[in-house]
A and B are shown apart, each in its own frame.
Chain A
């Protein structure tokens, strides 16, 4: 049962344009969401997160949007740069009541390629 889904295996974008990466989840208990970026032969690195009490979080060129009613989140990268080319994973966590122990449920990942 895939509780976190990234339905686009890959995305190709021109440098300077916007990259939009999408993620859907099914578990309504998830209340904390994260995006990780992964380069080949390296472990994932944390990019940005959002709590379910917010619908938007921005950090420089990266913005994450959360639509709880649709159980959907997206990562916007503006402007996209060739160095952003990587695999992007969304992840979700149930942190309600402080009972979470950091167990993250990951999507399958989306390969982003930014062309110069």
Chain B
């Protein structure tokens, strides 16, 4: 079956511009997670959704970052006024339920801020 998909796969933008990253989770998965991986570092947890709700947004790096999920399906991660330190691979994962269920990752979106 279809796995987690993310678009675009690559995004190059200029400093100060806004970007939107999209995640399509596996159908029926109630939990959705966003991570980012900066060069040479591990995956950094950003935010999770249970259904369409994001109970804990404390992992978002700054108020320039926001995320939403609709229809318990697609999620978008928006970064406003991008900075060079936002350059990273942004990974989305989904799982059937919120707890210790296996998280299935998408291929990621590589964001480069010039």
Contact = CB atoms under 8 A, between A and B. Distances in A.
Contacts of A44: 43, 91, 105
Interface residues of A, number: 27
Interface of A: 2, 4, 6, 32, 36, 41-46, 49, 89, 91, 93, 95, 98, 100-109
Nearest to B105: A43
B101 A102 contact: yes
12 contacts: A4-B42, A42-B107, A44-B43, A45-B105, A46-B103, A101-B98, A102-B99, A102-B103, A103-B59, A104-B33, A104-B43, A105-B42
Interface residues of B, number: 29
B91 A43 contact: yes
Interface of B is mostly: loop
A102 B100 contact: yes
B41 interface: yes
Contact of B45 (A36, A104, A109): A104
Interface in B41-69: 41-45, 48, 50, 55-56, 59
